[in-house]
Amino acid sequence: MTRSQPRRARGTVGHAYSALNLRLALASFGLVTMTVFAVLAFRADVAWLGVVCAVFAAVAVVDLIIIQRRRAARRREEPGVRHSLFE
């Protein structure tokens, strides 16, 4: 079972370990920008830069998956509670 935060984290239910909603917004921004930069780099025949940007986009996708799993676990632990961007 996935928990909303790691077991030995310093955060508590009242004070989250990380701001998941903010991380979601930042990872989404990183995915979009790195994808656009990768396409532009490949079109400009700068393959090494395109590969670097594509790797960063892949890291953003993995981070989005982890964030969504933790947000779902938090919703299971705290049903009906709405969190702001910074919680």
Is residue 59 very low, low, confident or very high in pLDDT (cuts 50, 70, 90)? very high
- Compute how many other C-beta atoms are within 10 angstroms of the C-beta atom of residue 30: 17
64 pLDDT more than 60: yes
Rg (alpha carbons) of the chain, rounded to whole number: 16
Is residue 35 very low, low, confident or very high in pLDDT (cuts 50, 70, 90)? very high
Average pLDDT for residues 59-84, to the nearest whole number? Answer: 83
Boundaries of every domain in the chain:
20-75
The span from the CA of 10 to the CA of 24, in Å, is 21
At residue 11, the pLDDT reads: 57
Q: Greater confidence, 14 or 44?
A: 44
- The tally of CA atoms less than 13 A away on the side-chain side of residue 14 is 0
Asked whether 54 and 34 are in contact (CB, 8 A), the reply is yes
